[in-house]
């Protein structure tokens, strides 16, 4: 019975893992050609790292020694790597296995005969042999040079056989070569090699700014107004707008906007949060110690109680 349980538990674990829809989706994802080759190479390099200190012993290893082949380039080591190849890949594992099977002879040729002279497997396999990737900072079918993005963006298709080589600028940067600031950023530093673009103040609207702070805004965003001395200043909608919120709400001013929050349930209208901020107490509540509190169902009048007691004594 114990053996049966020990056998069933691993099967249940495998079944749970396999039945996970997201894991299945990730595992079966088909990757773009360059990405797939890169994933395969990364997995193979992990195998190289894992086995780099190994030594052959027994079986085929003796045959390896007869051929005077070092373990570094041995078939034993290659098989050890292949056994776990792609096993750690989460997204695109099936694709990784397929690519490994399709190009096993190429990988084996590199491993046994070429790894000493061609030290970069990715460059040898993905760029030279399969022609699915390009060297860094080149793109397209013929690996043309990318547009210079001045370290402020990325070349579309860089390192692949895809893309158009144009710049995809980082946030805050613009221009063909990402050497300008976009509308809502200003140039806070520039020299011969570097440009730094910094966000305009939150108050700045269309047109951006020409420097730091609300005084540098060319136009104010909604919720702000232009002041001749201070630039864009916040509009307090809670003061400027009549009845900015519904009757059972109170207004809270925020920078560039406002919020309406619900009054305490003890209030019939309020100026803030809590039973001490009521304009008037709601039904079932009465003002006590500066707060609207639950009213007792029957208010006892001490004078009436004394009169009732006196009447009872007279009857006796």
Q: In this predicted model, what pLDDT tens digit does every residue of 175-210 receive, in sequence order?
A: 999 999 999 999 999 999 999 999 999 999 999 999
CA gap 102, 270 in Å, rounded? 74
Q: Are residues 86 and 125 in the same domain?
A: yes
CA gap 55, 59 in Å, rounded? 12
Q: Could you read off the pLDDT of 17-74 as tens digits, one per residue?
A: 456 899 999 999 999 999 999 999 999 999 999 988 655 555 555 554 454 456 888 8
Q: Are residues 262 and 212 in the same domain?
A: no
Q: How many CA atoms lie within 13 A of 31 on its CB side?
A: 23
Tokens 């109170």 sit on residue: 250
Q: Are residues 73 and 46 in the same domain?
A: yes
Q: Residue 164 has which token pair?
A: 């158009």
Report if residue 16 sits inside a domain.
Answer: no
What is the 3-state secondary structure of 235-288?
CCHHHHCCCCCCCCEEEEEECCEEEEEECCCCECCECCCCHHHECCECCCEEEE
CATH number, position 272 = 2.10.220.10
Q: Are residues 28 and 87 in the same domain?
A: yes
Residue 232 has pLDDT above 90, yes or no: yes
Report if residue 230 sits inside a domain.
Answer: yes
Q: Are residues 212 and 282 in the same domain?
A: no
Report if residue 316 sits inside a domain.
Answer: no
CA gap 51, 226 in Å, rounded? 68
Average pLDDT over every residue of 219-239:
95
Report if residue 116 sits inside a domain.
Answer: yes
Residue 224 has pLDDT above 70, yes or no: yes
What is the 3-state secondary structure of the chain?
CHHHHHHHHHHHHHHHHHHCHHHHHHHHCCCCHHHHHHHHHHHHHHHHHHHCCCCCCCCHHHHHHHCCCCHHHCHHHHHHHHHCCCCCCCCCHHHHHHHHHHCHHHHHHHHHHHCCCCCCHHHHHHHHHCCCECCCCEECCCCEECCCCCCCEEECCCCECCCCCCEEECCCEECCCCCEECCCEEEEEECCCCEEEEECCCCECCCCECCCCHHHECCECCCEEEECCCEEEECCHHHHCCCCCCCCEEEEEECCEEEEEECCCCECCECCCCHHHECCECCCEEEECCEEEECCCCCCCHHHHHHHHHHHHHHC
Q: Are residues 42 and 105 in the same domain?
A: yes
Q: What is the pLDDT of residue 46?
A: 97
What phi and psi, each to the nearest 5 degrees, are found at residue 197? -105, 130
Report if residue 107 sits inside a domain.
Answer: yes
Number of domains in the chain: 3
Residue 314 has pLDDT above 70, yes or no: no
Q: Are residues 96 and 190 in the same domain?
A: no
Burial of 233 (C-beta count, 10 Å sphere; 0-12/13-18/19+): middle
Question: Among 234, 255, 273, which residue terminates a domain?
Answer: 234
Burial of 253 (C-beta count, 10 Å sphere; 0-12/13-18/19+): middle
Report if residue 5 sits inside a domain.
Answer: no
Average pLDDT over every residue of 206-234:
96
Query: Across all residues in the chain, what is the average pLDDT?
Result: 86
Residue 307 has pLDDT above 60, yes or no: no
Residue 315 has pLDDT above 80, yes or no: no
Q: Are residues 210 and 128 in the same domain?
A: no
Alpha-carbon distance values, 299 to 93, 280, 291, 304, 309 (Å): 77, 20, 18, 11, 17
**Region of poorest pLDDT, from 8-22, 151-165, 281-295:** 8-22
Q: Are residues 220 and 265 in the same domain?
A: no
Q: Are residues 225 and 251 in the same domain?
A: no
Residue of 312 and 107 predicted with greater confidence: 107
Q: What is the pLDDT of residue 69?
A: 52
Report if residue 32 sits inside a domain.
Answer: yes
Q: Give the confidence band of 310 by pLDDT, cuts at 50, 70, 90.
A: very low
Q: Are residues 104 and 118 in the same domain?
A: yes
Q: Are residues 82 and 94 in the same domain?
A: yes
pTM of the model: 0.69
Report if residue 111 sits inside a domain.
Answer: yes
Q: What is the pLDDT of residue 78?
A: 94
Percent of the chain predicted with pLDDT > 90: 76
| Residue 125 domain boundaries | 24-52+68-132
């Amino acid at each position: 019975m114990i053996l049966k349980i020990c056998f069933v538990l691993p099967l249940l674990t495998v079944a749970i893992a396999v039945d996970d829809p997201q894991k299945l989706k990730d595992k079966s994802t088909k990757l773009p050609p360059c990405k797939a080759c890169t994933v395969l190479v990364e997995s193979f390099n992990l195998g190289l790292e894992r086995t780099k200190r190994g030594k052959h012993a027994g079986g085929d290893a003796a045959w390896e020694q007869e051929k005077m082949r070092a373990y570094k380039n041995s078939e034993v080591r290659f098989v050890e790597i292949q056994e776990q190849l792609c096993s750690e890949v989460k997204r695109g594992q099936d694709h990784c296995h397929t690519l490994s099977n399709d190009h096993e002879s190429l990988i084996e040729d590199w491993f046994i005969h070429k790894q000493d002279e061609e030290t970069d497997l990715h460059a040898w396999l993905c760029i030279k042999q399969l022609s699915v990737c390009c060297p860094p900072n080149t793109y397209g079918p013929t690996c043309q040079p990318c547009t210079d993005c001045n370290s402020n963006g990325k070349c579309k298709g860089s390192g692949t056989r895809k893309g158009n080589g144009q710049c995809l600028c980082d946030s805050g940067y613009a221009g063909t070569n990402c050497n300008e600031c976009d509308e809502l950023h200003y140039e806070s530093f520039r020299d011969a090699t570097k440009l730094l673009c910094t966000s305009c103040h939150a108050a700045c609207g269309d047109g951006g700014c020409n420097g730091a702070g609300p005084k540098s805004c060319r136009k104010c965003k909604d919720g702000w107004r232009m002041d001749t001395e201070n630039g864009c200043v916040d509009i307090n909608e809670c003061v400027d707008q009549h009845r900015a919120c519904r009757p059972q709400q109170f207004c809270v001013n925020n920078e560039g906007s406002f919020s309406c929050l619900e009054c305490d349930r003890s209030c019939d209208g309020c100026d803030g949060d809590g039973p001490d901020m009521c304009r008037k107490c709601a039904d079932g509540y009465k003002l006590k110690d500066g707060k609207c509190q639950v009213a007792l169902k029957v208010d006892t009048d001490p004078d009436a109680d004394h009169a009732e007691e006196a009447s009872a004594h007279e009857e006796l």
